Chains A and B, each alone.
Chain A
Amino acid sequence: MKQILIRATGMLAAMSVVCGLAYTLLVTGIGQVFFPWQANGSILEIDGKTYGSQLLGQPFADEGHLWGRIMTVDTSSFTDEDGQPVMYAWASNKSPAGEEMEELVAQRVEALRASNPAMADQPIPVDLVTCSGSGLDPEISPAAAAYQVPRIAAARGISEEEVQKIIDQYTTGRFLGIFGEPRVNVLQVNLALDGILKEG
């Protein structure tokens, strides 16, 4: 029995070196050399300033910006180097069949209709009134983006065609035309609307 325990300990130690240390360092090395941008969080950096990660959603409330999924914002879990709170988000984990959800969605519908008067008689795409799985979904469906076009155009005093053109530019289709869903990257659209992200 003693010999078996020694062998088990040795085996775990050897596996830790191979699968924990060597493997992790190898993947990190290859990742950092060949895909440095992706390996470090896909940060959008324009003219030396960082504007968030292309992969993480941000809260938007400005009438002239495209709005994303509902976020369950958390400002108490993380702080920056100066001890200031920074934002993160989580899923709601609410049942979609519960009364609580029914009330929440009703409030969201009311708020969206109030800020999008031009679309008041249109049904709202479901992704605009629901929280995502990560809480940080960076994207919305093309229908959810189209719903907001008149509001953004009016707030910015530009034509709806111009807004839609920018949205189309940051819309990605299904993978190989089949897998997943078409979607619009909210942060990129807003950076383009603000003139920070230039075409191309």
Chain B
Amino acid sequence: MNALIQYALYLIILVALAIPLGSYIGKVMNNEPVFLSKILRPCEKGFYRILGIHEDEEMGWKKYAACSLAFFFISLFVLTLILKFQDLLPWNPQGMEGLSWHLAFNTASSFATNTNWQSYSGEVTLSNFSQAMGLTVQNFVSAGAGIAVLFALIRGFVRTKASAIGNFWVDLTRSVLYVMLPLSLVMSIALVGLGVPQSLGGNITVDLLEPLAVDAEGNVITGAEIDPEAGTVTLDGALVEDAQIITKQIVPLYPQASQVSPKQLGTNGGGILGNNSAHPLENPSPASNLLEMISLLLIPAALCFTFGRNIKDKRQGIAIFLAMFILLVIALGVIGASEQAGTPQLAQNGAVDIAAGEGNIGGNMEGKETRFGITTSSTWAAFTTAASNGSVNSMHDSYTPIGGMMTMLQMQLGEVIFGGVGCGLYGMIGFALLTVFIAGLMVGRTPEYLGKKIGPKEMRMAVLVCLATPIAILVGSGIATLLPSTIESLNNAGAHGFSEVLYAYSSAGGNNGSAFAGMNCNTPFLNCSLGLVMIFARLVPMVATLAIAGSMAQKKKVAASAGTLSTCNPMFVFLLILIVLIVGALSFFPALSLGPIAEFTQMIGIG
């Protein structure tokens, strides 16, 4: 019963906060006054003065795209250099070395594309400088760039016979200053209060209550007698040679809270620490988790309402929101049920209690934290793979076959179930165009969306938006599985091993960033190919969306007639869901049957 209440409340809180935020972001987009304008407007103007930006300058779609691409590539270049040469930069109390060129490239593409795939673990790889001046900055601006492109698309629908769709620099600045920064600031301070560290001093070591003995290979010697005074380890009365006594534990400290907030809010997902928000020092309690988990989907959900508000037809925004929400609830239900059911391998014929009960969590607790249990972990998993966030509070590699498959499928559907900030919604609008086109063909009418006729040019672009992700995933994982070296990176054998590869490319192609983290992706081939997949899947839909925006802005509005297909009734919501599922299912069913579905049949003993 508690589980159902938790699921329901998480969804209710999300929607209750998304609606007012959506209207706030709508005002920011149109430069209408908001309650923060008094403080932020002067800062914003200062920004433009220093950078020589003319606020009133309007751009055509090509210039808008050129600016966003220039900003992306400069970010990629600078971040690669920061990571490669972090040993020469200040703020490195951990004494970290520079990254290899391929890891630096992979990480830079990952953060600049709003993916935040991590082939490394932060606490053994990155300095404070790389985290704060490199990654945190990208957490803000890559999210801001996504919102900016969405703003441009909305203007394309609103304007008639216009050649311009806004100013990229202004849209970027406003998204960051008015949306990302205030929310992150409040959330970071709350998170520190709840126990997330915020320190520039570097790691500290603390004493263990019970010393630990390890053998020469670093494996823990169980049942050993340890004499810390003499420094000797004995096992069953015999002295163990080469044993080492460990008396201390490391506490990794970074400016954690200030990166965790934008990582959640901007659908970035790249944690300071390797185990992300499963780590108690990144997400210490159910309270901090509530904050982090809601903020993960907050802006993508709010943007649906922004869309409706700013095209002056709220029902259109609600229709898109409902299509996304229904898909999310289905995924959440399947993941939650599958994880709570657990597996026969864990149950051991009843020797292990996997039934939920008073004080007992039950279910598949491998890779999950006690404080989150099954319910909160499953909700996060559904949220983070719906939004292209990719942060985790439990390890997806250790999900049940069906639970893990749903997380993968949400990414493979093109990250349009809310998706990344800005890019999820413009991806879904791509699918909406596809839907009206297909529906229009069926009834023999010219397809229209929001009063604009959809021509062949827009359709070509919409198809690019919809197919970029599947192409990137299938080509990438196809090549990777053909290479013998990939096998060495896997952490699990058989069908689950294939799932690890498929998940990696789904995550990169969906710009998600979560992982079946057992797979070691820090190899030159995997780093480079995943980096290229992320860049392709980010830039192709972005430029195609701006092209749609540009040609929509030029068109005149046609009045709705009896023959116009309504795009805000339940029928359209149903059709939209259907198109998303058909494209996803046709693309990925064969691959999924080799991975999670095969593993499931083995698990229940029919494979």
Contacts and interface: CB of A to CB of B under 8 A. Distances in A.
Interface of A: 1, 4-5, 7-12, 14-16, 18-21, 23-24, 26-28, 30-32, 34-35, 38-43, 49-53, 55-62, 65, 69, 73-78, 80-81, 84-88, 90-102, 105-106, 109, 111, 123-127, 129-144, 146, 174-175, 178-183, 187, 190-191, 194
B346 A39 contact: no
22 contacts: A8-B71, A11-B169, A15-B141, A19-B136, A27-B198, A27-B255, A38-B194, A42-B195, A43-B204, A49-B207, A56-B249, A86-B250, A94-B491, A98-B493, A125-B360, A130-B367, A130-B368, A132-B370, A133-B392, A178-B9, A181-B371, A182-B359
Contacts of A98: 345, 492-494, 496
Nearest to A40: B199
B357 interface: yes
Contacts of A14: 47, 50-51
Contacts of A132: 278, 365, 367-370
Contacts of A69: 370
Contacts of B415: none
B366 A130 contact: yes
Contact of A143 (B248, B359, B394, B400): B359
A174 B3 CA distance: 12
A190 B7 CA distance: 34
Nearest to A142: B359
A131 B278 CA distance: 12
Nearest to A68: B370
Contacts of B279: 133-134, 136
B209 A194 contact: yes
A124 B355 CA distance: 11
A131 B285 CA distance: 18
Contacts of B193: 34-35, 38
B6 interface: yes
Contacts of A100: 492-493
B350 A123 contact: yes
Contacts of A141: 359-361, 370
A64 B429 CA distance: 61
B51 A23 contact: no
B561 interface: no
A117 to B, nearest CB: 15
Interface in B304-359: 342-343, 345-346, 348, 350-354, 357-359
B149 to A, nearest CB: 15
A140 B188 CA distance: 27
B345 A133 contact: no
Contacts of A182: 359
Interface stretch (B214-222, B460-468, B540-548, B566-574): B214-222
A182 B373 CA distance: 9
Nearest to A175: B286
Given A23-B258, A181-B361, A87 B212 contact: yes
B526 interface: no
B192 A179 contact: no
A105 B352 contact: yes
Nearest to A108: B352
B103 interface: no
Given A75-B214, A95-B398, A146-B359, A101 B345 contact: yes
Nearest to A173: B286
Given A93-B397, A97-B496, A98-B345, A183 B70 contact: no
A50 B207 contact: yes
Contacts of B365: 126-127, 130, 132
